[in-house]
Amino acid sequence: MAPPIIQKPPFPDGKAAGQHNMFIRVVTGIRTHFEARFVEWVMGGTAVWWGLKLVGDDTAWTNPAAWQNMAALMHENQWGWLAIALGVARLLALAINGTFADTAYSRYSPVVRGLTAIIGAWLWLMVFLSVSTVSTSGSGIYQLPLILDVWCVFNAWRDVGRAKAASDGTV
């Protein structure tokens, strides 16, 4: 007769189990709301990616005339850090909104989503206006992130209204 197989618990300490459970909760929460918030996820990731391209050795804006208007307001690196902060805040708000809908955190998540969408729309408007002053390929494409972020503004603030109506009991 073979000796019984003794299985070790997958998480010998409670801390690792808690971390695993939180990871699963976050992934599940994101997956549950991902399709409805897809454009917001894309725009958050786009802001981070674009910002990362600006931060560094000041070589991203190769056509000074195209970026003249934005450069008059802030340095290229500052625009990059602004875009990164905006994108990270947006992605965190989306993760919280989808994951912790049953907690106090979620009360402010739609507002943060709305504010980051407004700032994002302003950022892409600045980019579009800046590159539109000269004939570049950017003047033909940068209106897309602007339009998508304007859509995100309406989407997020609609959710703010829905959350308020639900908390007031009018829904």
What is the secondary structure of 95-119 as a DSSP string? HHHHH-TTSTHHHHHHHHHHHHHHH
Based on the number of CB atoms within 10 Å of its own CB, is 87 exposed (0-12), middle (13-18) or buried (19 or more)?
Answer: buried
Q: What is the DSSP letter of 156?
A: H
Q: How far apart are CA 44 and CA 55, in angstroms?
A: 17
Task: Note whether 145 and 39 are within 8 A (CB).
Answer: no
pLDDT band at 16 (very low <50, low <70, confident <90, very high): low
Residue of 137, 118, 144, 153 whose CA lies nearest to 46: 144
Q: How far apart are CA 145 and CA 133, in angstroms?
A: 18
Report whether pLDDT(149) > 60. Answer: yes
Residue reference for tokens 């998508």: 148
Mean pLDDT lowest among 2-16, 128-142, 157-171: 2-16
pLDDT band at 12 (very low <50, low <70, confident <90, very high): low
Q: What is the pLDDT of residue 107?
A: 73
Residue reference for tokens 């549950």: 32
Q: How far apart are CA 131 and CA 24, in angstroms?
A: 43
Print burial letters for 45-71: b (CB count within 10 Å at least 16), e (below 16). Answer: ebbbebbeebbeeeebbeeeebbeebe
Interval 45-72: pLDDT, tens:
999 999 999 998 778 888 888 899 999 9
For the whole model, what pTM was predicted?
0.79
Report whether pLDDT(160) > 90. Answer: no
